[in-house]
Structure 1
Amino acid sequence: MKKRKLKILSIIIALALALMFWGYQKIERFADTPLAIEQETIFKLPVGSGRVALAGLLMRDQLVHSGRWFPWLLWVEPELAEFKAGTYRFTPGMTVRQMLQLLTSGKEAQFTVRFIEGSRLRDWLQVLQQSKYLQHTLAGKSDAQIAVALGMPQGGNPEGQFYPDTYRYTAGMSDIDLLKRAHLRMNKVLQAAWDERDTSLPYKTPTDLLTLASIIEKETALPQERSKVASVFVNRLRIGMRLQTDPTVIYGMGDSYNGRITHKDLEASTAYNTYVIAGLPSTPIAMPGEAALKAAANPAKTPYLYFVADGKGGHTFTTNLASHNQAVRAYRRGLKEKNEK
């Protein structure tokens, strides 16, 4: 009788072990199963989500084919149950275990927003508005209100105060916080350019340097020309000659600019029309990059007072009005010939 009981017990133990081994194999197979996705997928795990909630979300979004073995996996590997709320990026081929390891790591998805040199604040605001997963707080705010949010003086204009670059952010970050990062970056780069500037330049403040850099940024995209363009404007500032640069006129025109500048526009009295006002405009007109800032800080030593487009992507630089007018006529002839072809 005793032997029979021992035999039955042995069979039960063997069956239990076999069942456990079978179950463990199923759990491992489930853990190593790729998620049911064919492209990058953004997944948001809300604050306070537990095991049941996570399993439900994965099933709802059809990221796993079955949640049957999910609680068992977390029981066998409890370290995978320490997941953190956030927004994550799942990639094709990622297994269930790798997904849980990602949620446990707390390494949220990084998104990017790119601001290019020469763009304006209104361009930046449009980019921010179209950026997914960013908290939008700037809608309807004026430039002056944005300036105050950045810690600038009341009524200030934040144009030009942000460094153009690619910035990373996580879901839920606010647009104003991102602008603050770009603002701090510009302050740092501007201060470096100011500290390394030619001290004989006719600038009173770093903002003067920033303003001229923004004009240089709008006038040329050629690296080899920036310092020469800067020299023209510096030479004019030194002798009290008006800058007479079209980008400042365009900026002063605001939304009325339709791609053309008329004689009436050149004569209009605005705080930015350098055909009318002396010296620099009241604020920058765009976001300059580091190269333009360096050019403004250390312009080339030249006798040039004029430049005009040469029709080949660059500019012709001259020292006197007669030579400049000749270069203008050459440019116009080139345009005419090009249009007639």
Structure 2
Amino acid sequence: MKRLFLRLSAVVGVLAVVLAAGGWWYAWQPLKLATPVIDFTVQRGYTMRQAAATIVRAGVQVQPDLLYWIARLSGKAALIKAGSYEVHNGITPWGLILKLSAGDVSQGEVLFVEGWNFRQVREALESHPYLLRDTVGLSEQEIMSRIGASESHPEGLFFPDTYLFDKQSSALAVLRRAYGAMKDRLAFAWEARDPSLPLASPYELLILASIVEKETGRAEDRDLVASVFTNRLRIGMRLQTDPTVIYGLGVGFDGRLRRRDLDTDHPWNTYTRVGLPPTPIAIPGRESLQAAIKPAKTDYLYFVSRGDGTSAFSRTLEDHNRAVDRYQRNGKGS
């Protein structure tokens, strides 16, 4: 009996070695995919068995039990991480396990563009195929509260940049990062500002930078445009800038600014009110922030577009009117 037991033990041992060798061989074999590239998402809290089943459903032709046992015997089954993954033709079972245990998730990206308003930022997030649309249905105040912002109005507070994220991330999480990036940039800019600026707070700096962003057709003109608005603020002269009026009109603006629009008072109408509007009108980029903290030293009070992206700057109303006649006959300067 003892001899029989030893023989059976030997057979079992040989079979175990054969199975282990076969499993290890399988671990290195390229898998067939239903398409050249396959995306799948491992939800938070998934076990290795659940992850294997998800991978098969996505179109990766792998034996889920073998994948599980290879991961378990290698000590990596308990190390898998939640997230969205991307696999290509040629991936092996062992490659899958390494990807899952390393958290080698695939990433999406979203771009916030200089000069965008918050409506455009929100549209970019809520239409993105790889983001959770957790801002849908929320008011602007609710969004600001959920990202931990102290402000209630979101305009201008999200730094324009390309943001990378794990697929199926929260749109609110992306906004939180962009908000933090703008707060950091704004704090740095405020510390580096010209101390003689007629601005009372970093938020006023953000408002001014947003106007410079929307009024500048050529990068080289930014510090000159900033100087015009700074000079006007110093002497209490109305800013009279079209982009603020357009912002106040909101979605009702049809692309054509009329005289009645300039004459109709509202908080963002800088033709009827002195000083800065109550909020930014867009997200300024770093160059507009730089121009706002260190505008050119000029005595310009006026500028008008030449129609080619550049602007003509003037010191007096008489000179300005001549420039308007020259570059925008029947037009209206800034």
Moved more, 25-34 or 306-315: 25-34
Moved more, 198-207 or 324-333: 324-333
**Per-residue deviation, 1:53:** 3.3
Match of 2:42 in 1: 45
Q: Report sequence identity in percent.
A: 38
Match of 1:339 in 2: none
Note the alpha carbon deviations across 1:227-265, whole angstroms, 9 max, x for none.
Answer: 010001111111221111110010010111010100000
Q: CA distance change for structure 1 residues 57 and 283 in 2, over 3 Å: closer, same or farther?
A: closer
1:159 to 155, 161, 165: 155
**Per-residue deviation, 1:325:** 2.0
Correspondence 1:227 to 2:223: yes
Correspondence 1:95 to 2:92: yes
Q: CA distance change for structure 1 residues 175 and 26 in 2, over 3 Å: closer, same or farther?
A: closer
Match of 2:3 in 1: none
Q: CA distance change for structure 1 residues 148 and 57 in 2, over 3 Å: closer, same or farther?
A: closer
Partner AA of 1:58 in structure 2: I
Correspondence 1:276 to 2:272: yes
1:206 to 172, 191, 202: 202
Match of 2:105 in 1: 108
Correspondence 1:189 to 2:196: no
Contact residue 311 and residue 334 of structure 1 kept, 8 A: no
Contact residue 308 and residue 317 of structure 1 kept, 8 A: yes
Structure-2 separation of matches of 1:142 and 1:53: 37
What is the TM-score when the length of structure 2 is the normalising length? 0.86
Partner AA of 1:140 in structure 2: G
Q: CA distance change for structure 1 residues 76 and 24 in 2, over 3 Å: closer, same or farther?
A: farther
2:286 to 284, 290, 306: 290
Match of 1:130 in 2: 127
Note the alpha carbon deviations across 1:126-177, whole angstroms, 9 max, x for none.
Answer: 11111234333322322233333344557x3221112111122224533223
Larger radius of gyration between Structure 1 and Structure 2: 1
What is the TM-score when the length of structure 1 is the normalising length? 0.84
**Per-residue deviation, 1:51:** 4.4
Correspondence 1:28 to 2:49: no
Q: CA distance change for structure 1 residues 86 and 220 in 2, over 3 Å: closer, same or farther?
A: same
Match of 1:84 in 2: 81
Q: CA distance change for structure 1 residues 236 and 146 in 2, over 3 Å: closer, same or farther?
A: same
Q: CA distance change for structure 1 residues 184 and 76 in 2, over 3 Å: closer, same or farther?
A: closer
Structure-1 separation of matches of 2:68 and 2:25: 12
Structure-2 separation of matches of 1:118 and 1:52: 48
Partner AA of 2:215 in structure 1: E
Structure-2 separation of matches of 1:23 and 1:83: 22
Moved more, 206-215 or 315-324: 315-324
The secondary structure found in structure 2 opposite 1:112 is strand
**Per-residue deviation, 1:65:** 5.5
What are the ranges of 5 or more consecutive residues in structure 1 without an aligned counterpart?
A: 1-8, 336-341
Q: Across the two proteins, how many residue pairs are aligned to each other?
A: 326
Structure-1 separation of matches of 2:72 and 2:148: 51
**Per-residue deviation, 1:28:** 1.7
**Per-residue deviation, 1:279:** 0.9
**Per-residue deviation, 1:78:** 4.3
Note the alpha carbon deviations across 1:173-193, whole angstroms, 9 max, x for none.
Answer: 332232222112111111111
Correspondence 1:329 to 2:302: no
What are the ranges of 5 or more consecutive residues in structure 2 without an aligned counterpart?
A: 1-5
Structure-1 separation of matches of 2:16 and 2:146: 64
Contact residue 206 and residue 284 of structure 2 kept, 8 A: yes
Over the aligned positions, Cα root-mean-square deviation in angstroms equals 3.1
Structure-2 separation of matches of 1:86 and 1:212: 41
The secondary structure found in structure 1 opposite 2:85 is strand
Matches within 5 A, 1:3-22: none
Partner AA of 1:103 in structure 2: L
Partner AA of 1:45 in structure 2: V
**Per-residue deviation, 1:299:** 0.1
Structure-2 separation of matches of 1:72 and 1:47: 21
